[in-house]
């Protein structure tokens, strides 16, 4: 269709806007966390991750910031190792002195208001499960 107007104020090719969508997309927190975690993997490029999931890089950066502030809980990766500081009491009370028996060992973990005690001689798998459960429930 040709436009034969003599009005110089009118642009030569009219601009056409196409709106495809029903407004703002709502992203569930678990999907935000998954996308943010994917963008934090070694070698990941935020723009590529955003394009793959149909969102904007600015959104991904915002979700990463919220994860750093503890407002968004990232999914725990089986390959990701994280460490917590160990606090040792300098002087144990007389009643709490170790007896030398492995059955009497107690591992106590206090984290963000939660306290977990593991008694006996827990194996590495048991302690890993305890820390993984704490991380999932307390987003540490």
pLDDT in tens, 55-107: 999 999 999 999 989 898 888 765 555 666 666 665 555 555 555 565 667 77
> Is the Cβ–Cβ distance between 66 and 72 less than 8 Å?
yes
- pLDDT recorded at residue 114: 72
Q: What is the reported pLDDT for 52?
A: 93
Within the chain, residue ranges assigned H as helices are 29-39, 46-53, 57-68, 124-138
Instruction: Answer yes or no: are the C-beta atoms of 115 and 109 closer than 8 Å.
Output: yes
pTM: 0.43
Q: What is the pLDDT of residue 140?
A: 47
pLDDT: which is higher, 11 or 111: 111
Question: Helix axis angle, 57-68 relative to 46-53, nearest 10°?
Answer: 110
Mean pLDDT for all residues in the chain: 75
Q: Report the distance separating Cα 41 and Cα 37, nearest Å.
A: 7
């Amino acid at each position: 269709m040709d436009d034969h107007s003599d009005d110089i104020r009118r642009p030569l090719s009219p601009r056409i806007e196409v709106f495809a969508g029903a407004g703002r997309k709502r992203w569930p927190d678990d999907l935000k966390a998954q996308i943010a975690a994917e963008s934090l993997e070694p070698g990941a490029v935020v723009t590529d991750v955003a394009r793959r999931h149909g969102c904007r890089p600015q959104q991904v950066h915002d979700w990463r910031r919220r994860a750093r502030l503890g407002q968004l809980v990232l999914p725990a990766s089986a390959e990701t190792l994280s460490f917590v500081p160990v606090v040792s009491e300098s002087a144990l009370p007389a009643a709490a002195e170790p007896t030398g028996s492995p059955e009497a060992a107690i591992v106590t973990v206090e984290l963000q208001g939660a306290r977990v005690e593991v008694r006996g001689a827990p194996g590495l798998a048991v302690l890993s499960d305890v820390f993984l459960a704490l991380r999932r429930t307390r987003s540490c």
